[in-house]
């Protein structure tokens, strides 16, 4: 489905709740539906699955029309895998039995389908080999969700729907399962619609962001672009951050560091970034970036990452702070970055949109695994 899109438009009332959600996202990678609880994310997912039907809705997955007004494909005929907040496994079946149930539901003869997902491939990607003979009652929460995801994948869906799959898990269980979700993102061609109200999950997993507010789509686009859009509330959030795609280009074993390239610059990060050529996702908090008009002299600062950039915008935040939107590179053609400074610093430095600046990055988090 490379180059194709998922187009959705759902409008109507469900009791006192009004939904008017319209978006188009690539039919590849992970598109996150993000917003506060009650904004309509799960309702949209149910409309995509056909479980909620709103008159006049439209849904196209690639070249396939699943809904267009009165033309409506029934839920059991939609090739989707649905992963809920609770795993909902069959208690009378072992892990193997639950997984093989997914195989029995697999669709046949879909010319637009991605290459079939094999049982052994799912077991390997989700780390299920040692669990296969176990009854589901003895599994941890994270293990149960991995089995539920595997069962959904083995139904050979054209589209995987995930409704806050980590919401019921504690932090250690979330940390355990997130690397497996990253592996699926990299290894499989099945597009994912992922519902979450946790921005840290979205920053770690998503390629595309659908930002929802009060039943409507506020914005849709590449994750990095929306995180740095001064017109959106994400920039003003206390934990505002930017995510950057990077590739490891060098190692310094003497200091346990690695150099990674991002669009518009290079960053020094911990050596566990991986071998040369490894692709990583970085997260940089706005509060970990300060600004200077001229780069500090060599040896004059403990901060290793000082990158030329240009100011592309700014947004006042709570109190006396300003979130500054940057584009890396002396020409401002590189990746976006956020910096949070005091309003006094903004005024003293005489900062303004379009101005060249140097970004001093105090902290870089590696948010995925090599």
- Listing DSSP states for 156-215 in one string gives --SEEEEESTTTTS-HHHHHHHHHHHHHHHHH----EEEEES-HHHHHHH-SEEEEEETT
Burial profile 68-90: b = 16 or more Cβ within 10 angstroms, e = fewer: eeeebeeeeebbbbbbbbebebe
Q: Do the Cβ atoms of 282 and 267 come closer than 8 Å? A: yes
For residues 112-128, average pLDDT: 84
Q: How confident is the model at residue 107 (pLDDT cuts 50, 70, 90)?
A: low
With cut-offs at 50, 70 and 90, classify the pLDDT of residue 1.
Answer: low
In this predicted structure, the answer to whether residue 369 has a pLDDT above a threshold of 50 is yes
Is the distance from CB of 289 to CB of 337 less than 8 angstroms?
yes
**Tokens read off for 290:** 């300060």
b/e for 224-260, b at 16 or more Cβ within 10 A? Answer: bebbbbbebebbbeeebbbbbebebeebeeeeeebbb
Residue 241: which of 185, 213, 280, 199 has the closest Cα? 199
pLDDT bracket for residue 77 (50, 70, 90): very high
Cβ neighbors of 335 (< 8 A, separation 6 or more) are 224, 242, 244, 245, 262, 263, 264, 265, 327, 328
Q: Which CATH architecture has domain 241-367?
A: Beta Barrel (2.40)
In this structure, are residues 168 and 88 in contact, taking their beta carbons and an 8 Å threshold? no
pTM of the model: 0.91
Q: What is the predicted pLDDT for the residue at 108?
A: 55
Query: pLDDT averaged over the chain?
Result: 92
Domain with CATH 3.40.50.300 in the chain: 5-228
Q: Each residue of 270-288: pLDDT tens digit?
A: 888 889 999 999 999 999 9
> So what CATH class is 5-228?
alpha beta
- Cα separation, 62 vs 79, whole angstroms: 13
262-266, 299-303, 343-347, 359-363: segment of lowest average pLDDT? 299-303
CB 278 within 8 A of CB 319: no
Mean pLDDT in residue range 7-23: 95
More confident residue, 105 or 308: 308
- In the chain, CATH 2.40.50.100 covers 241-367
152-203 pLDDT, tens digit per residue, is 999 999 999 999 999 988 888 888 899 899 888 888 889 999 999 999 999 9
Residue 112 binned pLDDT confidence (cut-offs 50, 70, 90): low
Distance CA 332, CA 356 (A): 8
Q: Residue 173: count other Cβ atoms within 10 Å of its Cβ.
A: 17
User: pLDDT confidence of 109, banded at 50, 70, 90?
Assistant: very low
Q: Calculate the CA dihedral of residues 72, 76, 81, 82 and round it to 10 degrees.
A: 80
């Amino acid at each position: 489905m490379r180059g194709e899109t998922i187009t959705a438009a759902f409008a109507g009332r469900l009791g006192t709740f009004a939904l008017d959600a319209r978006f188009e996202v690539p039919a590849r990678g992970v598109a996150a539906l993000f917003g506060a609880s009650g904004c309509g994310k799960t309702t949209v997912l149910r409309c995509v699955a056909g479980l909620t039907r709103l008159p006049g809705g439209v849904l196209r997955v690639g070249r396939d029309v699943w809904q267009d007004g009165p033309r409506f494909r029934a839920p059991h005929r939609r090739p989707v895998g649905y992963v809920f907040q609770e795993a909902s496994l069959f208690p009378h079946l072992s892990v193997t039995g639950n997984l093989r149930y997914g195989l029995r539901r697999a669709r046949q003869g879909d010319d637009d389908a991605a290459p079939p997902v094999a049982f052994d491939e799912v077991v390997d990607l989700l780390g299920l080999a040692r669990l296969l003979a176990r009854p589901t009652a003895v599994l941890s929460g994270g293990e149960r969700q991995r089995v539920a995801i595997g069962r959904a994948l083995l139904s050979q869906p054209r589209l995987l729907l995930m409704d806050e799959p980590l919401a019921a898990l504690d932090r250690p269980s979330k940390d355990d399962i997130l690397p497996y979700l990253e592996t699926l993102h990299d290894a499989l061609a099945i597009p994912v619609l992922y519902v979450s109200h946790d921005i840290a999950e979205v920053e770690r997993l998503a390629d595309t962001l659908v930002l929802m507010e009060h039943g409507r789509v506020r914005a849709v686009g590449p994750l990095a672009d929306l995180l740095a859009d001064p017109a959106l509330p994400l920039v003003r959030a206390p934990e505002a951050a930017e995510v950057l795609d990077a590739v490891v280009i060098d190692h310094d074993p003497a200091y346990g560091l690695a150099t990674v390239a991002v669009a518009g610059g290079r960053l020094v990060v911990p050596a566990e970034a991986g071998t040369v050529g490894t692709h990583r996702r970085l997260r940089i908090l706005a509060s970990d970036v300060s600004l200077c008009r001229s780069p500090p002299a060599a040896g004059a600062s403990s901060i290793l990452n000082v990158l030329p950039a240009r100011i592309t915008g700014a947004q006042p935040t709570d109190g006396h702070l300003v979130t500054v939107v940057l584009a890396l590179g002396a020409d401002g053609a590189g990746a976006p970055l956020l910096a949070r400074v005091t309003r006094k610093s903004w005024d003293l430095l005489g900062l303004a949109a379009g101005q060249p600046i140097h970004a001093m990055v105090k902290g870089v988090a590696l948010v995925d695994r090599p």
